[in-house]
Structure 1
């Protein structure tokens, strides 16, 4: 585990919170763990434009493959097959 220097944000599909760590998921299938919280990474200028859709995920909008409404729930499907829900509070930032 180490603290990564973000080289190319476009290589990142999403960041996922894991307690006080963050897991970076890259388009090449690799994962790396950072010793900082998701909130810490969300505030970095390199990740401007990434979408915080719930407590656990910070998504690169370039890799969103589908948005789906299921009742009152909005689901987001990422290009790597990952699926997550949009929290009620953050729904306004996602256009379905």
Structure 2
């Protein structure tokens, strides 16, 4: 199991990360157990450390999402919203929509999401 080193003595398994959120020169790591870890690194540095472009997708200047914890996505008022397993919704920036679509197409979970979404009226497929 791959791990992300937050500091010299602190690490977290990649499969425990829901998403990363930028806060200028800091990054908040949101985990599956509702824990938030603040790291003194930029979001770009954290994404480079993860080094997994098809599991962790940068959806905006402020967010990198683990697509394994997505329940789906939907369009609302010309915006694409990602719905996470914890019910939180994050907006995909316009310039990152094509990267998001490409990553979703190359992910096995995308097949399951598309089947699930076809059963739910509120959530649209890409």
Please indicate the TM-score interval, normalised by the length of the shorter structure: 0.7 to 0.9
List runs of 5+ in structure 1 lacking aligned partners.
none
Instruction: State TM-score, norm by structure 2.
Output: 0.68
- Shift in CA distance, 55/31, structure 1 to aligned 2, threshold 3 Å: same
Q: Residue deviations 1:58-82, cap 9 Å, x none? A: 0000001120012421001111222
Q: Which has the larger radius of gyration?
A: 2
List runs of 5+ in structure 2 lacking aligned partners.
1-5, 102-125
Tell me the number of residue pairs that the alignment of Structure 1 and Structure 2 aligns: 93
Q: Residue deviations 1:37-60, cap 9 Å, x none? A: 00111111x341300000110000
1:51 to 51, 54, 57: 57
Correspondence 1:82 to 2:91: no
Q: Is the 8 A contact 1:65 1:77 kept in 2?
A: yes
- Shift in CA distance, 29/47, structure 1 to aligned 2, threshold 3 Å: farther
CA distance in structure 2 between the partners assigned to 1:75 and 1:63 by the alignment: 14
Cα RMSD over matched residues?
1.5
Runs of 4+ aligned residues of structure 1 deviating over 6 Å after TM superposition are none
Offset, 1:94: 2.5
Of structures 1 and 2, the one scoring higher in RCO (CA 8 A, sep 6+) is 1
